[in-house]
Structure formats: structure tokens, C-alpha cells
Chains A and B, each alone.
Chain A
Amino acid sequence: MLPFQVIDGGSFTSSVTAYQVALSDRPDLFWIRNRTAWGDDAAETSVESWWRRGMAAAAAQTTDQAVTTGALSSEAVTTGGFTFIDTANPPTFAGLATTAITGSAGTFVVSMASTGSIAVGDWVRLFATTGELQIAGYTFEITAVTANVSITLGYMASSGITFAADATAGTVVKYIPNRMYPRWSYIANITQAAQAVVSFTGGNDYTPGEILSFRVSSDFGMLEMDKVQARVLSVTNSATVSSVTLDLDSSGFTAFAYPTSAVAAAGVSPAVAVPSSSGVVPDNGSASVPQIPEGFNLRDAFDNRNRYVMDMGSNVITSTSAVYDWLAIKYDRFVAE
């Protein structure tokens, strides 16, 4: 026998009705129990839940607890359950239809009759849009979800960019990005300023002191940025804003603007920022003064940050302030007869 059948375990306090834990390997069985609610004589859905290898994504088998008696009853769910994710080889998701993307208003709300399993913080890719071909094939991080009504591409919206017309149809597919670090990013907008601000379509990987390199073709207006390398002075990664402020004066540059949908359809390469190298970390709020004592950025080192994750959805994490115990088990021997 080998001493590692229980490969991981622990506990966490839930704050929202979803949670992820990192694992050291692929489990064969995953189990959680709501320690706070167990036996408290209050009704609790999914007081205990488990997943076994071979289950469909987002499925779970759960136990509900009845009020007063504490009687347990079994249940099976097909959504909001467990999804095991190997971020280097992530699961794929089916495309979902959209009927409108509000690019003309600059709000980038994507209307969808079914939002599937898309949640805030997920990444999606748009394609086959009718109109707004400027962003067909682009990827976005989601900042808001109204279930089965719409999702919001909030990082794109906060960039201040607008399009001439909305998309009236298209497909949205959720995807899980590989976690090689740092990654290139689609540019949502670039300001004309003494310290240029570059906005992205989703949360970014960059850190102060890092040198970024830009690819901006003439189709995006600000050709002066093409192949320019610039140092990051500060980074914003809030709930709706993803941007970096650069040690670069773009005030005299041509304005950044997306090509029209028709021009994009004729063939363009997207404007992107790529990680280039490491520079001196700037003093907080200063473009020219280095951090004292001078600091070199090591946080921007190229790295493999892929990992195994168990994603738990709202049908197994049903309480927002409970302590959950969990176990991940790998069979040394498993017999299915």
C-alpha cells in the first residue's frame, strides 16, 4: 500500500455560494460537509456532498438536512455541483447564443436567453457575431451575470471604447485560460496622456516595474505604440477595471480606436500587450524615482502557475458563512463490478 490515498483535505469558510480549492493531483473522490450546519436542527440543502471521477461537469450527489428532525435525504444535481479543473488541460464548454452586444452604448452587455454556468470572474470568447466583428474571436472576463438574461463585459465597458453599432447575434463560449504567466492580453483602449493608460478586456497579469511590449497596427489608430516597450508604473485590477499606467507619454499619439466591423472582417490583427522583460520597480506614484531601496521586480518572472482545482458551485456551497470540511481521495485500488 502507498500512503497517499487521501491526497488533500482541509476546511474553509464560505463567503459566497461557490468556492475553489487547489489540489495536489487528480482525485477519484471528493467530499465536503457543512460543519456549521451539520446537526443544528435547521434545514440545510446539501449539508454534505460528494463527487466521484466520471461524473459530468457541474454534477454532484448531495444530502439535505431536514428542519428539527435533522433527517437526511439524498439528492442528485446536474448544475452547480463539482467541476474538476486541470488548468493546463481544462474542460471545454458548449457555445451559448447571444442576441445583442451593446457596443454602441459602450456598456458591452451581452444578452443571452441561457447564461449556462457562466459566473463572475469566468472568461468567455465571442465568435460568429452579426456586427461587432472587431471583437469576434476576442476573450473577455465577466464582471456581472443576470442569470439567463445577460452577462457584462465590464472590463471592456470601463475602457471607454464604443462601437458604431451593436452586434445582433453571436455565440459566447466559456473557457478556462491556461495559467502560464504572464500572458499576453487583448487591448481594450489606450489613452493619450503623459502617462499612457492601457486597458484590457479582462484581469491582467502585470506588475509595477515590468516591461510590456505592444502590437498596435494602423487599423487601431495609435500606430506609434506598435512595437514600443514601456515600463509599468502601476496596475489596476479591480472588479470592473483592468489597466496599467505606463512610463510613456502618448499625449501626441494618434487616438486609439477599434477598426469598423467591416474593416475587421476584411482582416486585421488584434492590438495586444505582450510581456517583454523586467525593469526597476518605480516608487509608488512616481514615474522617474525608483523604489527606495532600489527594487527589481521578481514578480514578473515567467512561470507555470497551472494547478489542479476543484470548483464547487452554488448547489453544493449553499451557505455563505459556514465552515466546510473537505477531503480529496485517490484510490490505490478501485474495483467496479
Chain B
Amino acid sequence: MPPQIQQNYTQKLLSTPERNCIHNLFASVIEVQDNDGFINRQSRYDALETFEVPLDNAQMNPPAQLLSRVDIDCRVRNYATYVVLTKQVTMTNQDPVLNSAAARLGQAYKETSDILQRDNLESSASIINCVGGSNGDLPTEMALSDLDDIVAVLQNNDGDYITNMIGASDKIGTSPLGDAYAMMCTSRMIPVLNNITGFRRKFEYGTGAINTLSSEWGGVNNVRVFQSSQGSVSLDASLLGNDVANCFLSAQEGYKIVFQAGGRAKYIYTPPGYMNDPAHLRHASACNFYQGQCINNDLWVQNLRSTGI
């Protein structure tokens, strides 16, 4: 008799943990043409003053107003990574290793792109401390009043909502949700969110959870919340030394991501025989992309800081 068969291999691969990529969801997208420099400039004309006082009987021309413009400059940078596989590995393994390498490179790209945007928001968004909670820290844990206050700030800054109202329905346990700004935060905020008065999980939306992303956790009044394990946290940053969650709220066109036309994310395969490989022993999978990111309007992106995480 032959020996017992000791091992078999199931072709279906196990899942690799993938983080929610939430920070580019609400960014306006700009593409820079090639051969046109590496700093993207967009401009905004400041609003003119309103003129409520009528002309008098002399009908003299009033003084002219000054039309002014500001520019937002954003530098695009290049990023790359790769893996090297021996031909031995790809020839002898039962699962398609190169396919997995490509998938993991794709994941690394998306998560890197998201982290770049997160770090940009963390470094340049205005900060407001939550003060409506009761944990005695500063900032406190997030409360309904903090979210209402930040909505008031964004409305007072004339920021447009990101999403339209979700209407009511006759399904039991659902409620409407107003026009909403988007909030991007760490998954560590989930217990705090669930504890906010009136916070609705997304299954309580009037539409149920239809047409929502898996990263969306819920909403309240005029805020919809998206969470990720790579959301922004500042360590030891509170008055008492607790970790602080940086929860970014954005109105439309609050911030942007800039791509280079010829530098969109690419998967690059190099077969054996290249890269000083005369014996054709190894091949490589690579990822390369160009990206810039910045705030478009500092009044339309706010960092609402919360403890309790």
C-alpha cells in the first residue's frame, strides 16, 4: 500500500484584511496633463460685497469693487513599490501567486492613496474640539451638540451638503435623514457614535442600507459618518493625555485629489531575464502612481476632535 495522503490544497484563498478607504470619497478629482509641470494650481474668485444702499438723487457712480482671486497650489508626487518573486515560486505553487501579488499591490495602492489624503486633512483642516460630552477631558467624547455645532459652522461658511436628504418610509424602525455633510473617522469612534443621542445606524435610514457603502456607519441630523481602521488618531493629544480621534467633516469641494494623466496607478509586470537576472530566475510585480492632495477651501473642511475612543 502507498502511504496515506497527508495534505490537500483548497484552491479558494482566504481573505486578506483590507481597510476601508474613506478619505478620498468626497474629494474633487483633478487630473494634471503631462508635460505641464508638477504643481497644480486652481483658483477661486472671492465674493464681492453686497450693495443694499440705493443710489441717491445725484446718481453718481459708486466706487468700484476690487475683484480678487486666490490660488490653491498642490504638488504631485510619485510613489512606487514592488515585490520580487522567484520563478521557482510561481512555477511550483498551486495558487496563482502573481495574481495575488497584483491584488495585494492594488490594495497597497488604494490604502496608501487614502492615507496620503488622511494625513493631508490632519495637517491642514481647521480643528474644533468636542465640548458637549461629559468625560471631563478636552476634547470630550463627541455628542449631538458637537455635530450640530459643526453643521452650523459649515452652513455658516456656506458649504454645500455632500448628499441629499434620505426621505422617510413606512418601514418599521426607519427614519429620514437630512441633507448631509460627510464625516470621516477612525473605527475606534464606533462606540462613541452609537452612544450619541439620535444617532441612526444606516439600517435605520428611510431607504434601509440600500445604496450605502460598507464603510458608512450611520448618521444623525445632517451628518453621515464613514469609518475606517486607518482613520486619523492623534496619540496622547487630549488635555488628560488620551488619544484624540480626528473626525474630518467636509462640504462639497472642500478638498481634492490630484492625479497626473500619465501617472495614474499602474500595475507593471517585469518577466524573468530583466533587472540583472541573466539566468531568468525571478520576476517582479510593481505599482506606481502619482498623486497630490490638498484643501480647496479651509472653511469647508473641519476636524472635529473627540476623545472617548
Contacts and interface: CB of A to CB of B under 8 A. Distances in A.
Nearest to B77: A304
B288 to A, nearest CB: 15
B75 A302 contact: yes
A215 B127 contact: yes
B119 A180 contact: yes
Nearest to B42: A277
A300 B294 CA distance: 11
A95 B126 contact: no
Contacts of B71: 277-279, 296
Contacts of A127: 236-241
A147 interface: no
A180 B129 CA distance: 22
B236 A95 contact: yes
B254 to A, nearest CB: 13
Given A296-B71, A302-B73, A304-B116, A178 B123 contact: yes
A173 B292 contact: no
B48 interface: no
Given A278-B71, A298-B39, A301-B75, A128 B128 contact: no
B237 A302 contact: no
A171 B241 contact: yes
B72 interface: yes
Interface string A297-315: 1101111101000000000
A275 B253 CA distance: 16
A301 B298 CA distance: 14
A175 interface: yes
A305 to B, nearest CB: 9
Interface residues of B, number: 45
B205 to A, nearest CB: 31
B239 A270 contact: no
Contacts, number: 143
Interface string B274-298: 0111000000000000001111001
A19 interface: no
A261 to B, nearest CB: 10
Contact of A278 (B73, B122, B237): B73
B293 A278 contact: no
A182 B84 CA distance: 36
Residue among B128, B275, B293, B298 facing the most chain A CB atoms (10 A cut-off):
B298
B138 A268 contact: yes
B247 to A, nearest CB: 14
Nearest to B132: A267
Contacts of A175: 235-236
Contacts of B123: 178, 180-184
Nearest to B117: A180
A182 B120 CA distance: 9
Contact of A274 (B73, B125, B237, B239): B125
Interface in A241-278: 264-270, 272, 274-278
Secondary structure type dominating chain A contacts = mixed
Interface size class of A (residues with CB under 8 A): 35 or more
A213 interface: yes
A92 B128 CA distance: 25
Given A184-B127, A302-B124, A278 B72 contact: yes
A13 B257 CA distance: 41
B298 A303 contact: no
A283 B235 CA distance: 41
A3 B39 contact: no
Given A173-B236, A302-B120, A269 B276 contact: no
Task: Give the interface centre of B84, B126, B129 by most chain A CB atoms within 10 Å.
Answer: B126
B299 interface: yes
Contact of A136 (B72, B75, B122, B239): B239
B241 A95 contact: yes
Contact of B237 (A137, A267, A306): A137
A53 interface: no
A268 B70 contact: no
B171 interface: no
Interface in B8-48: 39, 41, 44
Contacts of B138: 133, 136-137, 264-265, 267-268
A303 B44 contact: no
Contacts of A269: 127-129, 131
A266 B74 CA distance: 38
Given A137-B237, A173-B236, A300-B73, A274 B39 contact: no
B73 A133 contact: no
Contact of B241 (A128, A178, A265, A303): A128
Interface in A165-181: 171, 173, 175, 178, 180-181
B140 interface: yes
A296 B69 CA distance: 12
A272 B236 CA distance: 19
A279 B298 contact: no
Contact of A302 (B129, B240, B294): B294
Contacts of A301: 39, 73-75
A2 interface: yes
Interface string B121-158: 01111111101000000111000000000000000010
B126 A133 contact: no
A125 interface: yes
The 8 closest A-B pairs by CB, nearest first: A267-B131, A302-B294, A301-B73, A127-B241, A180-B123, A277-B70, A136-B239, A303-B75
11 contacts: A1-B276, A2-B275, A88-B119, A127-B239, A128-B239, A182-B123, A183-B123, A276-B295, A279-B71, A304-B119, A306-B119
Given A136-B240, A184-B127, A270-B127, 15 more contacts: A1-B277, A125-B237, A127-B240, A128-B239, A133-B239, A173-B241, A181-B123, A211-B70, A229-B70, A274-B126, A277-B71, A278-B71, A297-B73, A298-B73, A301-B74
